[in-house]
């Protein structure tokens, strides 16, 4: 049996990249997982891959920024798997510019996806978490549930060209520490992982403008200049960027029973890099 046997998890942005690696990791450990992505194909592929490994998963397609998404996401877990034990707020992307050139659209896009969306998901889960904790307490049981919010070293120390992203990710840390205090009585551990350089499609794509991501009708440039990427890797004590699987490992640590007395913490997963 895995460490998460019988648990139910929802992972936003889990059709690709870090989110997919998280979903696969949790499923291997026995959790039933609700997979989310903007697009049908990657979400269904992750569901199929989990099923092929003997796990359980279902897709919840859509944008985390949609006003009705949070309730639908949470309810999918309850309806299909009978509960909710783990929430991983992972979905997001970057849309960079220096402050004098940044538009209101760029600013609010990052705040919406990285901060407002996790807030809504956690708010939507609050009633279930509170009621479940009450029932378990009355039955003399102590059952821990987990929230892992994804931040970034940009949210810890700032990053040039990312005032929108850095502000949102800093907000995630504040939200994490606040909910750890609010939800401790419900036996919910609320923690945060701040990632450094992780090699995903956002960093590996050509940086000449030829590669773009289509996100909610917007064409967002992807990729990091190869020379800049080398410089970034040189600053990492371990000498390279991390893999999505290594990133998933950091999140999984905070979902295991061994973390039951850890809450309100920020874990930096950056290969030793410090801002």
Please report, in tens digits, the pLDDT of each residue of the chain (275 residues total).
899 999 999 999 999 999 999 999 999 999 999 999 999 999 999 999 999 999 999 999 999 999 999 999 999 999 999 999 999 999 999 999 999 999 999 999 999 999 999 999 999 999 999 999 999 999 999 999 999 999 999 999 999 999 999 999 999 999 999 999 999 999 999 999 999 999 997 776 565 555 678 888 888 877 676 787 888 899 999 999 999 999 999 999 999 999 999 999 999 999 999 88
pLDDT of residue 235: 94
For the entire predicted model, the pTM comes to: 0.95
State the CB neighbour count (10 A cutoff) for residue 153: 20
For the record, the structure tokens of 249 come out as 């490992």
Q: Are 115 and 158 in contact (CB under 8 A)?
A: no
pLDDT of residue 48: 98
Paired tokens of 84: 């909710």
Strands 8-11 and 188-195: unpaired
- Phi, psi (rounded to 5 degrees) for 255: -105, -15
- Residue written as tokens 């849309």? 95
- Whole-number pLDDT of residue 221: 79
142 phi, psi to nearest 5 deg: -125, 110
Question: Does 261 participate in catalysis according to the annotation?
Answer: no
Element (H, E) at 51: helix 40-52
Domains in the chain, CATH or no CATH each = 8-196+245-269 (3.40.50.720), 199-241 (no CATH)
- Taking residue 227's Cβ as centre, other Cβ atoms within 10 Å add up to 9
According to the model, what pLDDT value does residue 210 have?
A: 59
What was the pLDDT predicted at 212? 78
Instruction: Specify the pLDDT at position 209.
Output: 55
Residue 146 pairs with which residues in a beta bridge? 86, 189
Q: Which residues pair with 37 in a beta bridge?
A: 61
User: Residues 246, 173: contact at Cβ < 8 Å?
Assistant: no
Tell me how many degrees the CA angle 27-28-29 measures, rounded to the nearest 5.
Answer: 85
Q: Which of 93, 165, 186, 256 is catalytic?
A: 165
């Amino acid at each position: 049996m895995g460490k998460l046997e019988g648990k139910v998890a929802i992972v936003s942005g889990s059709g690709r990249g870090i989110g997919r690696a998280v979903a696969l990791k949790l499923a291997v450990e026995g959790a039933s997982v609700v997979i989310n992505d903007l697009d049908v194909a990657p979400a269904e592929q992750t569901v199929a891959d989990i099923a092929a490994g003997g796990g359980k998963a279902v897709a919840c397609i859509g944008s985390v920024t949609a006003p009705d998404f949070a309730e639908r996401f949470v309810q999918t877990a309850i309806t299909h798997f009978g509960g909710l034990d783990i929430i991983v707020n992972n979905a997001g992307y970057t849309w960079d510019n220096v402050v004098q050139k940044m538009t209101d659209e760029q600013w609010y896009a990052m705040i919406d996806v990285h901060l407002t969306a996790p807030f809504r998901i956690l708010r939507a889960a609050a009633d279930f978490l509170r009621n479940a904790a009450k029932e378990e307490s009355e039955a003399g049981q102590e059952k821990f549930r987990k929230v892992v919010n994804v931040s970034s070293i940009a949210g810890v120390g700032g990053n040039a060209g990312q005032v929108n992203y850095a502000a949102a990710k800093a907000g995630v840390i504040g939200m994490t520490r606040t909910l750890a205090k609010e939800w401790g009585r419900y036996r919910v551990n609320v923690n945060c992982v701040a990632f450094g350089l992780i090699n995903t499609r956002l960093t590996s794509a050509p940086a000449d403008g030829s590669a773009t991501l289509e996100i909610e009708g917007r064409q967002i440039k992807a990729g990091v200049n190869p020379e800049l990427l080398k410089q970034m890797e040189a600053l990492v004590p371990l000498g390279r960027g991390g893999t999505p699987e290594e990133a998933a490992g950091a999140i999984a640590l905070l979902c295991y029973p061994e973390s039951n007395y850890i809450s309100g913490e920020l874990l930096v997963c950056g290969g030793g890099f410090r801002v």
